[in-house]
Structures are given as C-alpha cells and as structure tokens.
Amino acid sequence: MSVSPDDGGSVKVDGVDYTAPITYTSNTNVTLKAEPAEGYEFSHWTGSYSSSSNPATLSVTCDKSVTANFLSQTDLASIGNFVWEDKDADGIQDTGENGISGVTVNLYDSGGNFIKATTTSGDGFYSFTYLQPGSYYLEFIKHSGGYVFSPVNQGNSEQVDSDADFTGRTSITTLNSGEIDMSWDAGMYRPTILNYTIQLSPGLNLVSLPLIPDDLNDPYNALLGLNAGAVSMYAKDSEAWIQYINGDLVPPAGFLWKDGIGYWITMGSPADNLTIDGVELVSGATLPPSYEVFGKDSPTYNNGWNLIGFKSTTPKQPMDYLENIEGKYRIIYGYENGSFFIVGTPGHELMQPGQGYWIDMIEPGTIYPPLEQIIGNITTEEAHDMIYAVPSNPNLVVLDVRTPAEYATGHIVNAANLDYYSPTFTEDLNNLDKTATYIVHCRSGVRSAWALDIMEGLGFREAYNMLGGILQWIDDGYDVVS
C-alpha cells in the first residue's frame, strides 16, 4: 500500500491504520478507506485497483499493490455562482433583480453521471468546491411559482448572462487544476398568465387550447359549471380514442389536457364558453414548445390522420403556422356548425384560435408554433390612423415614455406616461397588460426604440415604435393636448 503524495494522507484497512504489508487468505474482501491530510482531498485509487470510491471494497485474489492518490486543495477546481429573478426576461442581470433562494442545482460529469447537488443560498448564490479537474455541466431545477428559464447567452458578458437553456441545463465546461469558475448563472422569470375564451355550441365541438395551459391535467376544473358531456382525444401513437366524462374526479389513465392536441367536446343545450388559463409563447426560448404529428410509410390516402390543436391566440395562415412540416401534409380539415371544411378554401383561409383540426400527414413531423409577438416601427400617419380608427380598438394604448415635464408640455390625447429614465421603468412596464396593443413614442424616437426592446423581452404581444416621436407628430399637423 502506498500514498501519493507522501504527505497527502493515510489509509485504513478494515478500520486499522495501514503500516506494513498484510497477508490474507485468498478471496478475502477488505475495506480500504483513504483519509486525506489537512489541505488535501482524496482523488482515486490506482495500481491493482482503479476506482474513485471511498471507502472501497477490494477482493484479494493474489498479490496486490494499491496507491491512494490525494490532491492538494489548491489543485482542485470550483464552479458556481448565481440564480436570479430576471424581471425583464432579457437573460441579463440588471440592477434591482434579486437572487432566488432554495433553487436546486445538480452537477453532472460530461458523461451524464450525477456528481452531487446543492441549493442556492438566501441571496441566490451556490457553489461546488473541491472538484477533480475535468468536464462538467449543471442542471438548474425550475423554481415553483410558474417560473421559466430566461433566454440563454445574451449580451457580451459571461459574468451577467444566463447559462441555462430552456430545460435548465448548461453546456459542458472543462475545469482545469486549481480553476475557480464562478460565471455559471441562471435567470428565471414568470410569464404573464392569460385566459382565453372558446365559444361552444350544442352538439359536437372540435377545439384546442390556444395558450400553454397553466394546469395541464385538470379537465374537471376546466369544464366545471359547463353543460358538457364527454371530451375525447385521438391518441395517434396507439390509434385509439381516449375519453374523459365530465363529472369524473380523476381522468382515465392516458388522458391529457394540454396545448397542441385537438379535442371533441360534446355539449348539451344551451351553448357555453370554455375559459382556459395559460401563458403565451414568449421570445428567447431555444425552441418554442412543440408537438409531434405522425405519418405512415405508405402515402396511401387516409393513412396519416392526426387530430391536432392550434397553439395560438391570433389567426394564422397554415403556411406560417405549419412551416416546419411544409411538404409533409396533404390536407387540413376543420369542423364547424356540424360539418367539415377544408382549410384554405374561401371563408376558411386562416387557422383559428380555439379550433382543432384534422391533418393528413404523408410523413412524421414536428410542429414548432411561431412566437406570438408583433414588434415593429410605424409612421406617425399609421399611428394616427390606429388611434382615431372607427370603430376604435379598446385594447390600444398610447405610451409616452418622455419625462413628466416633457409630457406636460403637450401629449397625444389619452396617452399614458411612463418615464424611460425612471429607475423603476422596466418594473412599471412589466406591470402593464401584455395582451394590449401599444403605440410607444418619445420626443424623437430614440427612447421609444429602447423601450420597445425591453417590451419585446418582457413578452408584450403587440407593440409599435412611432418613428420621429412627438416632434414628427406635431410637424405632420396632428393635435396634442396639455
């Protein structure tokens, strides 16, 4: 038995300090335990036995020579840093964004083997110390309370960006001897919970959930109070129908209530409304939430039918919504008022929120729904037409991001005022209704462009920067009030 380096530590054999060679009867099992000296950590066993386990059990079947290897703590590596609430969802740590405590962080080696876990401290920090040099990755476990992970690798600084992808995992990094890498952070934020109402008619309704649902597996509460009977879904992978009967407290095994699936809902009389709570798709994810559609090896007609949902709160052209499976499907049917229709024919050019569809697939594919955001620039003339449209848009908000003093000198009628230079500007934006439509302006168009970038990161559905600002508005002869 030997120790490397000489002053790195000692070894106990079956609980007794090793001092000299020991003779054993053949096939005897002995327990080795390495005990590091101060300033050292056990690394691994070499020689006749190779392992990093400590203690370790060795079977003596012949003469064996084993070395306990220790590393100075100055040669060991560390990794860690920070988990924070990313209030503006931009993937970058900003002033006023605090750490999140109690988040579980798992450490794996590059082969996917679990090493150990820790949790973040009260101020959001964590670390793994005394690690063997080598390659690792981290896994952050999503915090309760509706959090999702921020966009990954934003900006130009490794010290303040978020390194976890939408699953919570980082890329693999290699730690060298003695390296301390405290640059691995994870941002989390809570998307705004919205609700969407689907109108149901007596008889059969083919519907989908246009939002990413807040509660994926509770059709009972979703249908509570409705005059609904059975809800049926078609499980394409097993080519079987699964049914949930309203009133059953526990859905049958295999029944899923989620976005991306089409459902038949049998309604009695009268008609009623189904309200779904959930979140919009937001920018920044590596890929938006997806779902699979199935095909058959043979292109024979009627062989690849899938009952799909429409994961969107705004109507879309099929070519836009299904661009990822272009060329893989033959025809799309919808169902309305007791009869089927072909999507793309007059009167049915768009796929509609809350509508389920039958799609005939030639081969399998994956649908990645497009992001819901509409962010861009408009002229003062276009803004004027939107503001004074007849009938007016009740969800339109004119947002003036100048200072209160500038606002008082003259502003667009009914415009709201949020000062871009306020230290709480991003927080104030985040408290606004993200489902409304916004026309944003400042004095000349610079601050409003910056504000629009923040709004895009926060997940606002539709926002426009008015080019030229209030100066261009006045130059074009449009009115202001004081």
At residue 145, the pLDDT reads 61
Query: What percentage of the chain reaches a pLDDT higher than 70?
Result: 92
In a domain, 421, yes or no: yes
Domain that holds residue 11: 2-71
Q: Provide the domain count of the chain.
A: 4
Task: Specify whether 93 is located in the same domain as 124.
Answer: yes
For β-strands 66-72 and 2-4, DSSP reports them as parallel
Statement to judge: residues 387 and 452 lie in one domain? yes
In degrees and rounded to multiples of 5, residue 452 shows phi and psi of -65, -35
Residues 264 and 386 in one domain: no
- Using the predicted structure, report yes or no on whether residue 450 has a pLDDT greater than 90: yes
pLDDT of 249 strictly over 50: no
Same domain, yes or no: 205 and 344: yes
Instruction: Please answer whether residues 129 and 179 qualify as being in contact, where contact means their C-beta atoms are separated by less than 8 angstroms.
Output: no
Average pLDDT score over residue span 141-167: 82
For range 258-264, the mean pLDDT: 88
Mean pLDDT in residue range 46-75: 85
What is the C-alpha separation between 124 and 80, in angstroms, rounded? 11
How many helices (H) and strands (E) would you count in the chain? 7, 34
DSSP class per residue in 258-280: -TTB-EEEEE-SS-EEEEEEEE-
- Domain of 445, CATH number, reads 3.40.250.10
Tens of pLDDT, residue by residue over 210-220, are 888 766 566 77
Q: Encode pLDDT of 363-408 as tens digits.
A: 888 888 876 677 889 999 999 988 998 767 778 999 999 999 999 9
What gap in Å lies between CA 55 and CA 32, rounded to an integer?
Answer: 6
Measured in residues, the chain has a length of: 482
> Do residues 345 and 434 both lie within one domain?
no
Amino acid letter, 255? F
- H-helix or E-strand containing 340? strand 339-342
Is the same domain home to 44 and 135? no
Regarding whether 396 and 462 lie in a shared domain, the answer is yes
Residue 128 covered by a domain: yes
Residue 15 lies in a domain: yes
**Residue pair 276/222 in contact by the 8 Å Cβ criterion:** yes
- Of 315, 321, 344, 347, the C-alpha closest to 332 is 344
Q: What is the pLDDT of residue 341?
A: 96
pLDDT, mean of residues 417-437: 89
Record the pTM: 0.48
Residue 129 inside a domain? The answer is yes
Residue where one domain finishes, among candidates 138, 156, 189 = 189
Asked whether residue 111 is assigned to any structural domain, the reply reads: yes
Sign of CA dihedral 360, 339, 256, 208: positive
Same domain, 303 and 199: yes
> Which whole number is the average pLDDT over 406-419?
96
Q: Mean pLDDT score of the chain, rounded to an integer?
A: 86
Instruction: Compute the C-alpha angle 8/9/12, nearest 5°.
Output: 155
The reported pLDDT for the residue numbered 117 is: 93
Mean pLDDT of 81-102: 89
Query: Which residues lie across from 153 on neighbouring strands?
Result: none
Same domain, 227 and 99: no
152, 173, 189 — which closes off a domain? 189
Domain membership of residue 480 (yes or no) is: no
Residue 459 φ/ψ region, left for φ over 0, alpha for ψ in the -120 to 50 degree band, beta for the rest: left
The tokens 């038949």 sit on which residue? Answer: 264
Domain boundary among 324, 340, 371: 371
Residues 354 and 212 in one domain: yes
DSSP per-residue codes, 459-478: T-SEEEEETTHHHHHHHTT-
143 and 27 in a single domain? The answer is: no
115 part of a folded domain: yes
Residue 481 lies in a domain: no
Q: Which residue, 214, 226, 120, 123, is CA-closest to 164?
A: 120
- 363 and 415 in a single domain? The answer is no
pLDDT at 378: 92
